[in-house]
Amino acid sequence: MHVKLFGAAREVTGSCYLVESSKAKILIDCGLFQGTTLAHSKNFKPFGFASKSLDAVFVTHAHLDHTGRLPILIKNGYKGPIYTTPPTAKLTQLVLEDAAEIMHEEFERSYTPKLYEISDVAGVVIQTKVLDEHKSIEVKDLKVEFFNAGHIFGSVFVKVTSDDGECVVFSGDLGNTSTPLLKQKDFLADTDVLFIESTYGNRIHEDESTRDKLLKKTVVDTIKNKGVLMIPAFAIERTQEILFELNNFVENKLIPPVDVYLDSPMAIKASKIFDAFPKYYSREALRLIAVGDKLFDFPGMRMTLTRDESKIINESPRPKVIIAGSGMMNGGRILHHLVRYLGDKNSTLLIIGYQAHGTLGNHLYQGERQVNVLNERIDVKAKIVSIGAYSAHADQRMLLDWIKSSPKPPKRVYCTHGEEAASAALATCIEEELKITADVPRMGEMIEI
């Protein structure tokens, strides 16, 4: 058995692993390369393998950098099954349909080429098959198992075992230890080789016990300044966690009354999908639901599903809080709010998620005081605040602890899904602390298991 990398090698986005045995050929994830737009040039290049030759595709979770090129597989003639957990199946459909809509808008605005059409997304939906956590399926001479990754709703890590006994685990994205909505991730399964994400391979998150205090302070300061708090958030998981925290603040009168707008059709729809799969919630979330608490609804909360409803936000009085996508600010409704409020010294932009290199979010996170948004040059006067503890990714310490959680340590670890410096830092820690051989593979590299 061998593995070949076709994405997320010395970079964060584009996760895609081809696994080949003597009889089978499967794909783990088929993600989009993300940058300034969804139409990153890498996404138009051939995969490096024939789509029609695949026996099956397995998806770790619904984020676009793990699912965004699935429609291209369909477009190229793939007819086989796409296995995901039940929540991931619904969330992936939502994410891909939203991406197709954004591509269409970018095409109409600036003739940016589209990667695929909505009909290709429909093909993904038709070919999707559900496989729950702790379940397995056989594809010729390979056995594939799903385990809870604790990253977002329905996320898994994947274990692949050949008839010869060779074993490899793909971590997908691993969750933070302080996710209030989700069950904690499973321990690492026994494996010979591990491919582990390293998004925060060179960083330690802030103390999670202080994150709600930082969020509360940011909200209160915005209210005092009669400003606007903009929170660009990934529609799946991060938005729901912020709503969960705000629900606590409001219900327990920890902040003054303020209007909160969820200006993300995808996040609104995703929240309803969350409600449909209660078994994936943490015990605390289930306890609140049992006593009648609506986790994502509270006094002052307004959901703006349509464009007309979204436009009303512009005329609503200050102070106000706006949660909108996309999380890296490379598309979506958040851009319109940035144009309106980034130049306002009384307003605040709160960054709560990873910002990939080259994205608008990364430019703002790095402190740039002039940025281009929707073809407008904006002088940044708003306050920029970042809370790293809200990340849905495990940090360096958590990644090391997860490797140690296995009853039988892997013989070799490959650090992927991270910028080169982050992957290299994690690999060094694995070798020095855990005494396991670790490496940082390159794009297109083939690895024998």
Residues 256 and 172 in one domain: no
Domain span holding position 330? 208-390
pLDDT at position 36 is 57
User: Mean of the pLDDT values across residues 188-194?
Assistant: 96
Q: Domain boundary at 390, 411, 435, which?
A: 390
Q: Does residue 46 surpass a pLDDT of 60?
A: yes
Which H or E run includes 271?
A: helix 265-276
Residues 168 and 231 in one domain: no
- Provide the pLDDT confidence category of residue 281 given band limits of 50, 70 and 90: confident
The domain spanning residue 163 has which CATH number? 3.60.15.10
Whole-number Å distance between alpha carbons of 415 and 199: 9
Query: Could you tell me which residue, 97 or 353, shows the higher pLDDT?
Result: 97
Residues 213 and 342 in one domain: yes
The order of strands in the sheet holding 348-351 is 301-303, 259-263, 320-324, 228-232, 348-351, 383-386
Residues 98 and 218 in one domain: no
Residues 59 and 104 in one domain: yes
Residues 284 and 180 in one domain: no
The domain spanning residue 280 has which CATH number? 3.40.50.10890
- Provide the pLDDT confidence category of residue 353 given band limits of 50, 70 and 90: confident
Count of structural domains within the chain: 2
Residues 199 and 314 in one domain: no
Residues 423 and 321 in one domain: no
* Total-model pTM: 0.89
Residues 239 and 357 in one domain: yes
How many residues does the structure list for the chain? 449
Rounded to whole angstroms, what are the CA distances from 23 to 20, 142, 163?
A: 8, 8, 10
317-330 confidence digits (pLDDT tens): 999 999 998 888 98
Strand duo 136-139 + 128-130: pairing: unpaired
Query: Could you tell me which residue, 105 or 138, shows the higher pLDDT?
Result: 138
Q: Does residue 102 surpass a pLDDT of 90?
A: no
Residues 398 and 385 in one domain: no
Rounded to whole angstroms, what are the CA distances from 46 to 28, 76, 97, 113?
A: 17, 10, 22, 16
Residues 171 and 304 in one domain: no
Q: Domain boundary at 390, 412, 434, which?
A: 390
Residues 423 and 345 in one domain: no
- Provide the pLDDT confidence category of residue 101 given band limits of 50, 70 and 90: confident
436-447 confidence digits (pLDDT tens): 999 999 999 999
